[in-house]
Amino acid sequence: MKVVFIGSGNLATHLSLAMKGAGIEVVQVYSQTESHASLLANKLSCSYTTEPEFIVVDADVYIFSVKDSALLDLIHKIPQNKGLWLHTAGSVPMGVFEGYNDRYGVLYPLQTFSKNRDIDFSIVPVFIESNSAGDEAYLLSFAGKLTRQVISLSSEKRKHLHLAAVWACNFTNHMYLMASKILQEQSLSEAFLLPLIDETAAKVHQLSAREAQTGPAIRYDENIIEKHIELLSDPNMKELYRLISRNIHKESSNE
């Protein structure tokens, strides 16, 4: 099995290295930035190109792991071939490939990927979709070499899954940043929050998010809430604090 990676960012790096570790041969990396393409290609011991027209045409699978905005611009530049075209995006429909290639689908790993942060891919849920039953079965086997969790999911369901992931991961991490700014202003160590962050994440393995919720917003303790808001100098953070507190109280009241 031969794979070409179109893209060399965080997801492409983690996914391609996981494939290498699983014995899947990555034969080429494409990126418009040569330094990025060569760096990943060196890790994979494969060739690279910065020109779409030089992408090899005899691979079995072509994985498009690029920004959503770049995907449409790239598709029509890829040489025609008989391989299976896959993208890795959460909110892009499978049909984006329609009219460009006969075989296409989706390989979407639900995880956050950062540079210099190792991921155990065997526990990452991977969601697949294809325009044919034969390739769906092929994808089940292909993704099964990487992880124990392979799930067939439609484009419609996947975009809602991606939306939920943004709330659970991206917005949560942004809250860490807001907390970090507050601590930095007072010359307090961010490390003080790490046990709290760890326990907050660990609790939802045993409890529902509703059951795990704590804090003054549950009972809408206006005395504490207003004191906290007074401590914030940024109007946007004040507004965000109020909005989230009201929503926590609303959800807690719906029990």
pLDDT band with cut points at 50, 70 and 90 for residue 225: very high
What mean pLDDT value characterizes the chain? 97
Which CATH number belongs to the domain containing residue 123 in this structure? 3.40.50.720
pLDDT for 254 equals 79
For residues 143 and 166, membership in a common domain is answered with no
pLDDT for 115 equals 86
Provide the H-helix boundaries in 186-234: 194-203, 209-212, 222-231
> Mean pLDDT, to the nearest integer, of 244-252?
96
pLDDT for 116 equals 87
pLDDT band with cut points at 50, 70 and 90 for residue 255: low
Q: Is the pLDDT score of 83 beyond 90?
A: yes
For residues 194 and 241, membership in a common domain is answered with yes
Tokens 């040489």 belong to 79
pTM over 0.85: yes
> Mean pLDDT, to the nearest integer, of 184-203?
98
Among 122, 153, 184, identify where a domain stops. Answer: 153
From CA 16, how far away is CA 9, in angstroms rounded? 10
Q: For the segment 90-149, what is each residue's pLDDT rounded down to a tens digit? A: 999 999 999 999 999 999 999 999 988 999 999 999 999 999 999 999 999 999 999 999
User: What are the backbone dihedrals phi and psi of residue 110, each rounded to the nearest 5 degrees, phi first?
Assistant: -90, 90
Among 153, 177, 193, identify where a domain stops. Answer: 153
For residues 199 and 239, membership in a common domain is answered with yes
For residues 136 and 200, membership in a common domain is answered with no
For residues 22 and 147, membership in a common domain is answered with yes
Which CATH number belongs to the domain containing residue 193 in this structure? 1.10.1040.20
pLDDT for 28 equals 99
Q: How many domains does the chain have?
A: 2
pLDDT for 164 equals 98
For residues 148 and 175, membership in a common domain is answered with no
For residues 147 and 188, membership in a common domain is answered with no
Q: Is the pLDDT score of 241 beyond 90?
A: yes
For residues 119 and 45, membership in a common domain is answered with yes
3-state secondary structure of 182: helix
pLDDT band with cut points at 50, 70 and 90 for residue 188: very high
> Mean pLDDT, to the nearest integer, of 190-207?
98
Share of the chain above pLDDT 70, in %: 100
3-state secondary structure of 9: coil
Helices 222-231, 235-253: crossing angle, 10 deg rounding: 160
> Mean pLDDT, to the nearest integer, of 38-44?
98
Among 153, 180, 210, identify where a domain stops. Answer: 153
Q: Which domain holds residue 205?
A: 159-253
From CA 13, how far away is CA 36, in angstroms rounded? 10
pLDDT for 247 equals 97
For residues 171 and 137, membership in a common domain is answered with no
From CA 127, how far away is CA 115, in angstroms rounded? 22
pLDDT band with cut points at 50, 70 and 90 for residue 196: very high
> Mean pLDDT, to the nearest integer, of 5-34?
97
For residues 73 and 196, membership in a common domain is answered with no
For residues 122 and 177, membership in a common domain is answered with no
For residues 95 and 172, membership in a common domain is answered with no
